[in-house]
Amino acid sequence: MRRLALALSLSLLAISPVNAASNRPSWVESELYGFNHPLAQSQPAEVATKMDKMATSPFVFYRGTAHLFYRDMATLPPSAYLNAATSAAWIDGDLHVQNYGGVRDSAGNDVFDISDFDESYLGRYSWDVRRMAVSIVLAARELGFSKSDQGTLVDQFVDSYLNKLSDFKGTNDELSYRLKAGDLSNVAKDVVQKVGSKSRADLLTKYTSVSGGVRRLNSDSTLVAVPTATASAITSAMSGYIASIAAAKRQPTAFYAVKDVRQRMGSGVGSLGRSRYWVLIEGATSGTSDDVILEMKEIGPSAVALANPGGMPSSAYGNHEGTRVAMSNKAGLTNTDPLVGAATIAGKPFFVKEKSPFQQDFDYTALKGSLGNFKDTVSAMGKIMAKTHALADQDYDSSLVPFSEDKQITDVVVSASGFKAETRSFAADYADQVQLDHAAMTAARAAGRPLY
């Protein structure tokens, strides 16, 4: 009876509004400028591209402003469903519907999974739930779904997440859990099936060319030649990168020999303004057919730390933000890319992984017009988020997360209906806030006020 009363009180608390949207143009302009101005000192064109992208819609604006979200998380009322353990979960930090996709894992499975851990950090599991739920609402609004449908989609996502966590509780099933094409339907299934049609030869043909028996990266507006000093710095950084890979997964040194370098331009949204390089390396043989493209991505501090400063001790990742992201990939994924690692280039931290030939991005606009497809997709996303939270706990590193998060989260959510109502309310209210913030940004641009 006491547990029932507690569940009822939490449910009533959860359905109360958590954050009424407010018009705050000066704050938005100040935060955008403060975050982006330092980046524009070295990458002004990339930051300009970022602003152009964010102006296109509230959803894209949301993708590029995780720092605004966590500024708000520091002050807005927390979830009613938290305890000490679930406030120190290893979260993705920037979950939204475009941070999922299809990929072939290192065991050869074509799977649907999370594709980005740049903001991953220790914090409240509910921040991942909320950030993802807001993205669902924003995408659904952009695609013309009704308010009722938006709530249905959020409920479907939360239900799927909680149910899968409950499945993991008391088992080790998360260690082998994956979503392959046969486990999926509609758009998510299509994404994974497209992975199977890809090949290394296709990737190399698209982005490289061979002349005189030597393969080089192409040059165009998205792949730009780098100064000799930059290429030298990247080559010098390779020894540190190789050392960051576990010895059991490390290839012979010749595998990592650098053949060519380009700067990748205009890729992503939130990361624009930080350097990103593609590095062509030798691969397993001296031939050109098995060359490998590495992606080296400059990494800044996690936005989650704005709401949870010091929540993940920097000593845990060697005071290196690229190492933090590499660790998070290994913690949250099964059969991780064996080329995942970290490097320091000209004193800056980078995360390194293969530009996989077997990868398919997810396009949320494919969900337009079908609530059933959208529901199936967010259901898959909820399961994958549950898998990630369940993996990135004591299963990976008990010194960082000494809990079974699948048990802790399942136990703390004493009312699934209350948690769904809380998340639904938050997502709708915060999506309103994002729309107001996006309008403030576009108005500032129109008036010529500096945002970077």
Cβ burial of 33 (10 Å; 0-12, 13-18, 19+) is middle
Per-residue pLDDT averaged across 237-245, rounded? 98
Per-residue pLDDT averaged across 264-293, rounded? 97
Mean pLDDT, the chain, rounded, equals 95
pLDDT at 76: 97
C-alpha 250/C-alpha 243 separation (Å) is 8
pLDDT > 70 fraction of the chain, expressed in percent and rounded: 96
C-alpha 192/C-alpha 182 separation (Å) is 9
339 and 291 in contact (C-beta within 8 Å)?
A: no
Question: 3-class DSSP state for residue 290?
Answer: coil
What does the DSSP 8-state code read for residue 249? Answer: G
For the chain, state the CA radius of gyration: 22
pLDDT at 327: 98
306 and 71 in contact (C-beta within 8 Å)?
A: yes
For residue 139, pLDDT over 90 is answered with yes
pLDDT at 12: 34
390 and 165 in contact (C-beta within 8 Å)?
A: yes
Residues, the chain: 452
157 and 381 in contact (C-beta within 8 Å)?
A: yes
- Cα 177 to chain centroid distance, Å, stands at 19
C-alpha 21/C-alpha 18 separation (Å) is 10
What does the DSSP 8-state code read for residue 316? Answer: G
Give the model confidence (pLDDT) of 403-441 as tens digits.
999 999 999 999 999 999 999 999 999 999 999 999 999
Rounded to a whole number of angstroms, the distance between the first and last alpha carbons of the chain is 56
Which residue bears the tokens 């690692």?
341
pLDDT at 1: 26
pLDDT at 375: 98
Q: For the chain, how are helix, strand and coil distributed in percent, rounded to 5? A: 50, 15, 35
pTM: predicted TM-score of the whole model, two decimal places = 0.94
364 and 371 in contact (C-beta within 8 Å)?
A: no
Give the model confidence (pLDDT) of 88-119 as tens digits.
999 999 999 999 999 999 999 999 999 999 99
Strand ordering across the sheet containing 359-361: 110-114, 100-104, 359-361
Give the model confidence (pLDDT) of 280-327 as tens digits.
999 999 999 999 999 999 999 999 999 999 999 999 999 999 999 999
pLDDT at 10: 36
Which residue bears the tokens 């070295």?
42
Band (pLDDT 50/70/90 cuts) for residue 214 is: very high
Distances (CA, A) of 231 to 320, 353, 404: 21, 18, 44
Nearest alpha-carbon partner for 290 in 352, 224, 199? 199
Band (pLDDT 50/70/90 cuts) for residue 7 is: very low
What does the DSSP 8-state code read for residue 401? Answer: -
C-alpha 6/C-alpha 248 separation (Å) is 50
Q: Return the number of other C-beta atoms located less than 10 Å from residue 30's C-beta.
A: 12
129 and 159 in contact (C-beta within 8 Å)?
A: no
Per-residue pLDDT averaged across 125-138, rounded? 98
pLDDT at 20: 86
Q: Give me 40's structure tokens.
A: 């524009």
Give the model confidence (pLDDT) of 42-86 as tens digits.
999 999 999 999 999 999 999 999 999 999 999 999 999 999 999
Distances (CA, A) of 74 to 68, 308, 330: 10, 7, 27
